[in-house]
Amino acid sequence: MPSYTPPLRDMQFVLHEVLQVVDELKLCPRHAEIDAATMNAVLEEAGKFAAEVLLPLNQVGDREGCTLDAAARKVRTPSGFAEAYARYVEGGWPALAVDPAYGGQGLPIVLNQCLYEMMNSANQAWAMYPGLSHGALECLHAHGTEAQKATYLPRLASGEWMGTMCLTEPHSGTDLGLLRTRAEPQPDGTYRITGQKIFISAGDHEMSANIVHLVLARLPDAPAGSKGISLFVVPKFLIAADGSPGERNAIWCTGLEHKMGINGSATCQLELEGALGTLVGEPHKGLASMFVMMNAARLGVGNQSLGLTEVAYQNAAAYARERLQMRALSGAKAKDKPADPIIVHPDVRRMLLTARAYAEGGRALAVYIALLIDKMLASDDADERRECADLTALLTPIVKAFLTDNGWIATSHCMQVYGGHGYVRDNGMEQFVRDARINMIYEGTNAVQSLDLLGRKVLADNGAKLRKFGKIVAAFVEDNGTDEAMQEFVNPLADLGDKLTKLTTELGMKAMGNADEVGAAAVDYLRVCGHLVFAYFWARMAKVALAAQAGGDSFYAAKLATARFYFAKLLPETAGLIRSARAGLAPLMAMDEALF
């Protein structure tokens, strides 16, 4: 079975030494009392839960999967999953970053981010059950009626109930404007909802007393397309007068998807047969309301691949230190052994360092965007809230797509380190690869995230959001431009920033002539942006490590070595990406469709 050690030291480095989150959060009245000791204590306990409770169930869930009792239309989760969830609730983890007004602990979202990274490393499939509940809570908190908030938020906060997001239909995936599920108004102000939903994560299970489904559907007078979609809250069990789950609602699981990975997560086909629900927000504006949950889910999926990257790296590095194969080309290194450990071989180190650089860079970005959300929600400065909202919007598709692309690369590399033992199921590496590959697809494929970034987040506002991040990068470059020790990090960062500015202008001009040019360049463009963001955080981490290395702590030496690897071996990918983006639409459209 794979092992997992929560990366507490690196999390503390990012939180306290690089981003200085305590100082940032203390400026928000809601978090004025937060301190590093409290944060570290929470992270330590979260790590114990992930490593001791969830990790032993990861391969169990993969082997057993979920089962559907077709006659009863009930889903059973793998052995131990329900018991682990009971311990999760008992520990108060669902309430960690929830508003105290609804029973939450009111701690910062950056802690929730780190909790979920560790749970995803230990058992991504299990973590998907509570994973959408926080998004459902925030959606209802932002758009629900007072009655809905009073009914659902305390129970979602406590973990007594869980939430789902019901968007996709058999004929309608990314293009939600095509959905057909209908909602018929009733005299008492409720709605009867009928239709089919598919690919619903945690759509049915026995782990919580109720499931709160947030369902997109159309009212009878709805206009066509995405402007005619409304949002409804549809509980699995109707709510009794005392607030407890009552009669079974008419929403049923009719099938489970048999997937390549995350087998312990129940991916359900749901049938709504006149299920009773209530409207969330305004009629025909449900998609805008649901985006609160959708954006949270996209950040969550990026975090899933971050978790997999970390755990795959840990196991591959341990294996490489022990596995004996051949001698180093420059001569034997372990002369007392019949062969050298494979960690002496340059290409094994390339694969390991790639995974490590993507894990540690991804962690810095993920914590940073969680801090932005904390300030967006808690700052008493309206300008700061807007600034944080704009940066969050810009970075969300990058977190989802860049981190999941990197997770696929990293887990594949780590399986390769094992050689033939990598695809043997007992070692767990092939499961990480299968799980990671799924993350690039759901919650909006990475191509869709790329279109969102270039089309909506950059070109739609003439680059205003991108310039905000660009100013942060430029300020860092200016502050450190004369530091000789920082040149190897600052110069490539500044150069890529200039190249991205030119590329953005060029693509904007092309798009004015033919909008399809956006689609031709978007995937390459997002990856260039992702590297700019990573280069910025790696430069920041290198600066801290340079200042601290004199103390002799090997942690900082490793950080600097990884930073140098990133700038020397991974960042140069951007040259080819920029050239590919500039190649434009013509090479993609030249072939006649009939020849494919």
* pLDDT score at 293: 86
Let me know if 443 is a catalytic residue. Answer: yes
Closest Cα partner for 83 from 75, 91, 71?
Answer: 91
Any long-range contacts for 280-284 (C-beta under 8 Å, 24+ apart)?
280/139, 280/140, 280/143, 280/144, 280/145, 280/148, 280/214, 280/231, 280/232, 280/233, 281/143, 281/144, 281/230, 281/231, 283/219, 283/222, 283/230, 284/219, 284/222, 284/223, 284/227, 284/228, 284/229, 284/230
Q: Where are the domains of the chain?
A: 8-65+84-136, 143-148+161-286, 446-586
pLDDT at 595: 96
Query: Residue 474: CB partners within 8 Å, gap ≥ 6?
Result: 494, 497
Burial of residue 290, with CB atoms counted within 10 A of its CB: 0-12 exposed, 13-18 middle, 19 or more buried: buried
**Predicted local distance difference test score (pLDDT) of residue 37:** 98
Residue with tokens 């001791």: 52
The topology (CATH level 3) of 8-65+84-136 is Butyryl-Coa Dehydrogenase, subunit A; domain 1 (1.10.540)
pLDDT of residue 169: 95
Tokens of 388: 């944080």
CB atoms within 10 A of CB 31: 20
In terms of Cβ atoms closer than 10 Å to its own Cβ (0-12, 13-18, 19+), residue 167 is buried
Catalytic residue among 443, 478, 484, 506: 443
Tell me how far the alpha carbon of residue 19 is from its chain's centroid.
20
CA distances from 418 to 324, 334, 546, 553 (A): 11, 19, 33, 30
Distance of alpha carbon 202 from alpha carbon 225, whole angstroms:
27
**Cβ atoms of 150 and 99 closer than 8 Å:** no
Average pLDDT for runs of 10 along the chain of length 596: 97 98 96 97 98 98 97 95 98 96 95 98 98 92 95 97 96 89 97 98 97 97 93 97 93 97 98 98 92 91 98 98 96 96 98 98 98 96 96 98 98 98 96 98 96 97 98 98 97 98 98 97 98 98 96 96 98 98 97 96
Q: Report how far residue 116's alpha carbon sits from residue 118's, in angstroms, rounded to the nearest whole number.
A: 5
Q: What is the pTM of this model?
A: 0.97
Q: Which of 30, 234, 91 is nearest to 152 (CA)?
A: 234
Q: Are residues 55 and 4 in contact, defined by beta-carbon separation less than 8 angstroms?
A: yes
Note the pLDDT of residue 306.
Answer: 98
Rounded Cα gap, residues 567 and 539, in angstroms: 9
pLDDT computed for residue 219 by the predictor: 97
Strands 210-217 and 191-201: unpaired
Question: Does domain 143-148+161-286 fall into CATH 3.40.440.10?
Answer: no
